[in-house]
Structures are given as C-alpha cells and as structure tokens.
Amino acid sequence: MSYNERVARGIRLCAVTDRHWISQKSAHTLEDQVQAAIEGGATMIQLREKNLDRDEFVALGLRIKKITARSGVPLIVNDSLEVALALGADGLHIGQEDGDAALIRKKIGTAAILGVSVHSVEEAIAAARSGADYIGVGAVFPTGSKDDVSTLTRETVAAICASVSIPAIAIGGIGKDNVKLLAGCALAGIAAISAIFAEPDRVREATAELASAAAPLWEES
C-alpha cells in the first residue's frame, strides 16, 4: 500500500478519544474503548487528551499504540508535537493555534501523517502548501467538544474541500443521523468523538452504525 493510499484509507473514520465518559468506577479503560472502536470500523485513532501532563500522555499513548499497531490502524496525536515524537506516533493533528505547519512537517518528517484543522478556503490552501496530508474541516454541526468554534455552512465545507487536492475530513457534531447531510461535499472521511465514545458500553456498536451511515461519503471520494 502506498503512502497516499494509507492516508486515504486511514482518514475514512477517525475516532477521536475522550475519557470524559468513562466513570472512575467503570470497568472500562480508554484502551478497551479504542479496541472496541477499531473492531466497530474506526480506521484511525486520534489521541486527544487535553488534561494530561506530558508523562501521563506519553504513558497512555504507548499503551494505545500497542493496540493500533496490532490492528494496523494509524495512531495520530492531537496537538502535541512533543508527545507525537516521544511515541513515534504515525502522525500529528494540529489546529490553527498549534504552531507553523511547515515547521512541524520538517520536525515530524515525511513519513508521518500531518493533519491540520481549517475553517476557511484560505486556511485550507495554506495547510496544503505547508505539507499537510489532509485537512480537518469543521465544525460542520454544533458540538459540545469545543466552545469557541462556529459552525460552517454546507456550502463552505464544499468550497474548502474543492480548494485543495489533499483529502478532507469533516468534524464537529457528526453522528449517524446527520452524516448523510454531508453528501456531495467531496469529503474523504469524518472524525467523531461523542458519536463513538459517549456510551462506553456500546462503543463497538456505535462505531459500526456510524461507519455504515458514512459509507456513501467514502464512495464519493
């Protein structure tokens, strides 16, 4: 499989982690939730843990990496270049406030996957020129994961996707019931948090339902 094929296959359904829904008294761990998501059809795992210090983040990442490596699913670290390098992760996803994408590309090398969050055509073009492998477009629907991100219109999402030659994934409030509204935007995939992890007892089932609902989008790309 070529590098471009690996990226294209990986970004179809990115499960973005959040331990918020795992009770301290729960038998669930993030590791078993990630395993369940992969079994349900997640093609990429993005490790997004905002409240961990570096050492805890790296320790968790090493445990998650064993699972993703065994399954052949790319592990992408959210925001932290330092953690991504420490883990030897498959890639890094950054936002507009997380540093210069071109400089980060040089630091992670050409073998690592680089994703960049964008909210406009201008940001998408800049990300592509800086060496991003894919862009994350959003928020496409209202979301509780970020309070400071406005929702993009469907027309804006389509324009962003059309502005660059690299693949685009949608993120923000996506679930099995609304993902079909993104049809025709030329998206290569989607990313989801709550739609996958909000019910710890049925992560596998929730991922499978989302994958099934999103499948027509992948056929467009």
Residues involved in catalysis: 48, 117, 146
Residue among 210, 207, 87, 105 nearest 166 (CA) = 105
Residue 221 half-sphere exposure toward CB, CA atoms < 13 A: 24
Please answer whether residues 170 and 149 qualify as being in contact, where contact means their C-beta atoms are separated by less than 8 angstroms: no
Residue type, 105: R
CA distance 80 to 83: 5
3-state secondary structure of 9: helix
Residue with tokens 């909000």: 198
Token pair listed for 43: 């093609």
Phi, psi of 166, rounded to the nearest 5 degrees: -80, 155
CA distance 69 to 76: 12
| 119-140 residues labelled b (16+ CB within 10 A) or e (exposed) | beeebbebbbebbbbbbbbbbb
User: Which uninterrupted H or E stretch holds 122?
Assistant: helix 121-129
